[in-house]
Structure 1
């Protein structure tokens, strides 16, 4: 399934155009960043994955292009979900999290991104830091309702095995930590 142009610099599959536009609306600083959202047959250990397109790494921060892969069928352990059966708000939350990764990538040099990739492959401690950073970016951008909805979809779903829920609890922000971040963000906004 091919992607369609949804704005000047963004593409997404027609079936999730609404969710993609909604998630992108929280990240105005990504308005001019090339982002291609597309379905992929399968992504190991994940439902979505954001990464720079390899060829664009040599162009520097301003010339980078990114791709967000979405698993066509989301398989969580032995349970399979079609993206069509996942609530819209959950898809927006997942995309918001991946856009958080892209914000993080935008703050890194090319060499820094290469180091990031190696650390992500080999260090569970670094995976936890990267995933929590992406959640934090989404919350700072006002996406807390979507992030909480996504977490609840996973953690409250009887069809999702405990092993996957434990992975989410280990690497990502908890609902309680999200509430603390919201309080910190709101206090910072009051000061401004």
Structure 2
């Protein structure tokens, strides 16, 4: 019995040591919430992408066959993907959901424990009916605004893909615990579409969700949150020259 208890204590001690080591490793990670302009060549898109003919097969050839396209929004999603050549070999799926935030980028947690090339990222797009978020859901947006916000979400994934497991954990802690950390990350992620040639599209999204008559009531309720964590259309106008 004593020997059994001894083994149990040893196992518990090792488990505690492992937990402490992991926590310490996470806390020691240096994670900057700010997004930086990528050092890659990107394509500059037209200010207006709506009302044009697009060949989805040609777009699929550009973005790779490891990209999921949400039903009904395939073209907008494919254009947004095409703006991120550094993500061509990265596994990403865009999924329509019936709950959650209007848009959310995340990673399959288990895929974080393997090789980076095998990671699986998800962009969850709320498509529920008759909810508080109705005015700003993807289906409610004009085509260019759809491209702009999807490019914003892909900006998150470009950031995530640079992080190792411990850095990702540190980022998550910072995002949840610090308003300043979250604001810096989200507002600089609004610049990622600009860096990738879709500045007009993210501007059109920011303008629509604040100024369109269908969104005015929603914006009046949420403008404190929206303007704190995301760039306004006026701020983006100065950046993209709209």
- Relative to the length of structure 2, the TM-score reads 0.66
Q: Which residue of 2 aligns with 1:170?
A: 228
Q: Which residue of 2 aligns with 1:80?
A: 134
Q: Which residue of 1 aligns with 2:90?
A: 33
Change (3 A) 1:152 1:75: farther
The CA RMSD over aligned residues, in Å, is 2.1
| Structure with more strand by fraction | 1
Q: Which residue of 1 aligns with 2:217?
A: 159
Q: Which residue of 2 aligns with 1:20?
A: 77
Give the Cα separation in 2 of the matches to 1:169 and 1:139. Answer: 18
Is contact 1:56-1:63 (8 Å) kept?
Answer: yes
Q: CA deviation at 1:130?
A: 1.4
- Give the 5 Å matches for 1:49-88: 49-73=104-128, 78=132, 80-81=134-135, 83-88=138-143
Q: CA deviation at 1:60?
A: 3.7
Change (3 A) 1:75 1:178: farther
Runs of at least 5 residues in structure 2 that lack an aligned partner in the other structure: 1-59
Give the Cα separation in 2 of the matches to 1:146 and 1:105. Answer: 22
Q: CA deviation at 1:176?
A: 4.1
Change (3 A) 1:75 1:160: farther
Q: CA deviation at 1:61?
A: 2.7
Given candidates 124, 133, 144, the residue that maps to 1:89 is: 144
Given candidates 134, 156, 169, the residue that maps to 2:189 is: 134
Runs of at least 5 residues in structure 1 that lack an aligned partner in the other structure: 1-5, 184-192
Q: Which residue of 2 aligns with 1:104?
A: 159
Which structure has the bigger radius of gyration?
2
Count the aligned residue pairs: 175
Runs of 4+ residues over 4 Å off in structure 1: 179-183
Q: CA deviation at 1:161?
A: 3.6
Structure scoring higher RCO (CA < 8 A, sep ≥ 6) equals 2
